[in-house]
Chains A and B, each alone.
Chain A
């Protein structure tokens, strides 16, 4: 037998004190009576059984000693050794994924119970047993490694925080075993709301049952001055349920709502139209509280931006096509006819085909066009050489690249244009801006250059398009908690920041083509701010939502479990037997008996 609180055993020192008190207390009140004659007769029978009489006299003392022992044991909180206790290294894997936020009826979460189970297991280990704690939620974390001090281990368990991550323990079993195999003898325990079927793992299952409805998706479409919102909800439990689904804007103003009946495990799509709201995002919320509340709310960014339309007027230019289509932001149209139809486009690219007339609206790109009235001119002579980029914001990622070009014409400088690539002193690529209308010039045929084969080609084209069309960065707006946000900064971005829903701001490193941000543990809307060298800021919004596909389903394990999972390898969380209460009740019973003995005899 061992004790959770062995210091309480010092209470046994009270026993000699009680005995001493009893000895000192043996002062009988003296009373002179006429004669002890009759008392002698009365107590004569008792004197025959002297040893029992002595014991009976002291029985109150004995009862008091028993009470002290019982209460001391209760406070020391004894428990018995478990069968599987060994000195083997203990590797405890704790699931901290989103589903562990599910609540029990007493308000505690699955993770709370998992931590209690872990601490209970630690208490049951032999002193000096090395323990490694690994948490898997947003990512894989080794919280403690090979620790011996139970206090340290339990403290680290207490410090484990819940996440909304959806990383699976099953997906990381190899990693866990790789850690384990660095020890000679080890035992792996997983504390989770799911069971791992590996025979060499002991599962500690924390399960809470209850109804759960999740919002799986919200998408918005802007058309004719208002939004259409499509939401998908799923009942994740075996019993039918009725819910109230409401839409709110970013100022928490109610927009629209709907009452929905869901059969067991049923999904439904709800369409809301004519939603008028300002702001950057909306969110949907289920009114009713259920097992997992985090999946009852979902955010969506309101995006008025339309897809940019580009028309390529060219005989054939596969290089340009691929470069344009490398980005998903554009719709590309092709024609060989310089006289475009009445369709309006955001960008007109003239590739070696001189336009009959310049469209009134939209931006322009000229490839191998000698002259455009009112915009630019090129030299009549052609030449060849090695081209290099000048150091501009738009050429940041291609600055050090060179390429060969032949039969180019020198772009004559004017007030509207700025060279960004030269062969010697001759400008061969330039950006222009006349009265707010942007245009780009390449004064050579791409086919006469190895530029398209250069790694810098698609990058430059993308930069030129972004600069000319103003779409900026390719940002994926929707992520799940725990995922890394990745984005490509604008070519003009000098600094970038990201703020989480709690307004914690972090500066991002924009020195790489793609920037990552991994602190996505909070659910909600994140702000991505990019600032150029003129302190102009551009803000984009990103949502981090609950991963309902992997973390909302209520998995039920029957008492018999599956065939391939032995009951012996699964310990369920259950209320720990409260020995203290039993001991205290026992102490009360003994004290009552003592009182009875004292009063009645």
Chain B
């Protein structure tokens, strides 16, 4: 993988993003994680060390008196969230910088999550390994970066088979970053995640070329994943139909997501990370 995906410029952006997201969480939004568990059990769970920006009211003064350190109480529902980031690393994602965008998104979410002392599990869809845990806290971020950099995008077809075999052990947040070019039933995947008490975010990433192809003539199109060939005479009429189908495709997935309470965001691979996170994801549950 090209190391230039995670440039120093990108890293700086991540820091700013993280602060922006936190500010939004502090000054306006009703919690960076809209927990479904809100109003549920207040059973004491654990302590953790106070970090700036924590709520003063949650400081356990008894613990301070004993240990001379500030600790805050954690309740059950405030236990660290588990972010599962599912990255589609099929061959189709390697076209038109979709892979770069998806990795940067994954990195951005990882950074923000780690900053929040939540847990991140990286899950390439096509891999022998799942639920890769590389540590918590900001210090583990570079490990995550290194792992992300080495994800292979030369695999065959997109497959959610691995996802459907996972054990989730409780609720969490699942982010799927994919172009969703699969013959598998997306609804089954969403349904599976929903049944596993996941808050689902589907980032449907497509390139400009895929959304608005500028081709003509007689073409033998070869599928990069399956090698399947398709002879087509590209006429204006066919292009029009193609664009309508892209729209229909997106709408269809959106409908499926809505049905199961998942969030669907359509992303262009040329969009910047800031735009995606600070604009496209505004209003979704995912703001930390």
Contact = CB atoms under 8 A, between A and B. Distances in A.
A57 B238 CA distance: 13
Interface string A13-46: 0000000000000111111111111111111011
A51 interface: no
A31 B220 contact: yes
B246 interface: yes
A107 interface: no
B218 A33 contact: no
B181 A37 contact: yes
B223 A35 contact: yes
A32 B233 CA distance: 15
B249 interface: yes
- Most chain A CB neighbours (cut-off 10 Å) among B183, B237, B241: B241
Interface stretch (B47-55, B78-86, B106-114, B224-232): B224-232
A38 B221 contact: no
B245 A57 contact: no
Given A29-B220, A33-B224, A601-B238, A39 B95 contact: no
B207 interface: yes
A34 B237 contact: no
B260 interface: no
Contacts of B183: 37
Contacts of B179: 34-35
B181 A39 contact: no
Interface in A35-69: 35-43, 45-46, 57
A32 B238 contact: no
B8 to A, nearest CB: 30
A600 B244 CA distance: 18
B235 interface: yes
B219 A28 contact: yes
Q: How large is the interface on B (under 10, 10 to 19, 20 to 34, 35 or more residues)?
A: 35 or more
B235 A601 contact: yes
Nearest to A53: B233
A42 B221 contact: no
A31 B215 contact: yes
Q: Is the interface of B mostly helix, strand, loop or mixed?
A: mixed
Nearest to B243: A42
Interface in B194-226: 207, 210, 215, 217-226
B236 interface: yes
Contacts of A30: 219-220, 222
Nearest to A601: B235
B222 A38 contact: no
A31 B238 contact: no
Contact of A38 (B210, B225, B226): B210
B96 interface: yes
Contacts of A38: 181, 210, 242, 245-246, 249
Interface string B107-124: 000000000000000000
Interface in A417-452: none
A34 B220 contact: no
Contacts of B231: 28
A29 B181 contact: no
Contacts of A29: 217-220
A35 B219 contact: no
B232 A43 contact: yes
Contacts of A28: 218-220, 231-232
B263 interface: no
Interface residues of A, number: 23
A31 B221 contact: yes
B59 to A, nearest CB: 52
B217 A34 contact: no
Contacts of B96: 34
Contacts of B102: none
Interface string B240-278: 011011101100000000000000000000000000000
B241 A33 contact: no
B18 interface: no
A601 B96 CA distance: 29
Contacts of B228: 36
B95 A34 contact: yes
B181 A35 contact: yes
Contact of A43 (B95, B217, B222, B238): B238
Given A32-B224, A35-B225, A42 B242 contact: yes
B89 interface: no
Contacts of B207: 34
Contacts of A39: 221, 230, 232, 242
Contact of A57 (B230, B233, B237): B233
B92 interface: yes
Contacts of B93: 34
Nearest to A43: B232
B152 to A, nearest CB: 16
A265 B222 CA distance: 90
Interface in A481-522: none
- Most chain B CB neighbours (cut-off 10 Å) among A32, A37, A40, A600: A37
B17 to A, nearest CB: 28
B237 A601 contact: yes
Interface string A573-601: 00000000000000000000000000011
Contacts of B92: 34-35, 37
A172 to B, nearest CB: 73
A135 B106 CA distance: 104
A36 B235 contact: no
A368 B121 CA distance: 169
A178 B240 CA distance: 81
A32 B220 CA distance: 8
A30 B219 CA distance: 6
A26 B217 CA distance: 11
A252 B167 CA distance: 126
A34 B210 contact: yes
A99 to B, nearest CB: 66
Contacts of A33: 95, 221-224
B51 to A, nearest CB: 43
Nearest to A36: B223
A36 B213 CA distance: 12
Contact of A35 (B224, B235, B244): B224
Nearest to B237: A601
Nearest to B227: A32
Contacts of A57: 233
Contacts of B181: 34-35, 37-38
B220 A40 contact: no
A601 B210 contact: no
B230 A40 contact: yes
A400 B181 CA distance: 131
Nearest to A600: B236
Contacts of B95: 33-34
Contacts of B245: 38, 41-42
B242 A34 contact: no
A467 to B, nearest CB: 106
A40 B182 CA distance: 12
Nearest to A25: B218
A35 B93 CA distance: 9
Given A34-B98, A35-B223, 4 more contacts: A30-B220, A31-B219, A31-B222, A42-B245
8 contacts: A32-B222, A34-B92, A34-B95, A34-B210, A35-B92, A35-B179, A37-B182, A43-B241
Interface of A: 26-43, 45-46, 57, 600-601
6 A-B pairs with least C-beta separation: A601-B235, A34-B95, A28-B220, A35-B181, A34-B92, A42-B242
Interface of B: 91-96, 98, 179, 181-183, 207, 210, 215, 217-226, 228, 230-233, 235-238, 241-242, 244-246, 248-249
